[in-house]
Copies of this chain bind each other. A is one copy, B any other.
Amino acid sequence: MTDIKTAANPLFLREEELRQGIEMLFFAYRDFTSEPDRILAEYDFGRAHHRVIYFVGRNPGLAVSELLDVLQITKQSLSRVLGQLVREGIVEQKPGTEDRRRRHLHLTTRGYELERRLTESQAARFARAYRAAGAEAVEGFRTVMQGLINERDRGRFDKRAGERAAVKAATGKPAARGRRD
């Protein structure tokens, strides 16, 4: 009987290879979020708070609408989380000087400290993995990851090493979003 699952079968190898990719992403994401989850629990925050803290820390002065665009959630969902963060003194809102409708978000000192803890835990995981894998593997990793990301957000990871604002980088074309309010 012919085994269609021998190493000689390129179709099977391809399927297996792709399935391993799918699974690696699942496990990596699961483990990647588990440490921050523990830190956040100390503050009674969840993963949703983390995302806000991260992106506000990364893009000080970010407007609410820009944050919604990055997170791809509704403003009602964001509102609860953001409201808590403001009340807990993690995030501050400053009305814009040019357009006073816009509220620009910043981390407070306390917020910055929490952001450091959270980011350091995830950065340490990347530092370990990058160091073990070597520069060439990291380049390959980046290339594949960008291919996995929708075109819409791929531009965030060009060759810019931090000079450009991280969010602004992608806001050239509006790019069809899901219906949101």
Interface residues of A, Cβ cutoff 8 Å to B: 5, 7, 12-32, 51, 54, 58, 72, 119, 122-123, 125-130, 132-134, 136-150, 153, 156-157, 161-163, 166
Contact = CB atoms under 8 A, between A and B. Distances in A.
A contact face: mostly helix, strand, loop, or mixed: helix
A31 to B, nearest CB: 5
A116 B164 CA distance: 41
Contact of A139 (B14, B127, B140): B140
Contact of A24 (B123, B146, B150): B146
B25 A29 contact: yes
A56 to B, nearest CB: 14
Nearest to A125: B148
As for how many copies of this chain the complex holds, the number is: 2
Contact of A27 (B14, B143, B149): B149
8 closest A-B pairs by beta carbon, nearest first, are A140-B140, A129-B147, A137-B140, A141-B144, A16-B162, A18-B123, A21-B126, A24-B145
A130 to B, nearest CB: 7
A71 B26 CA distance: 10
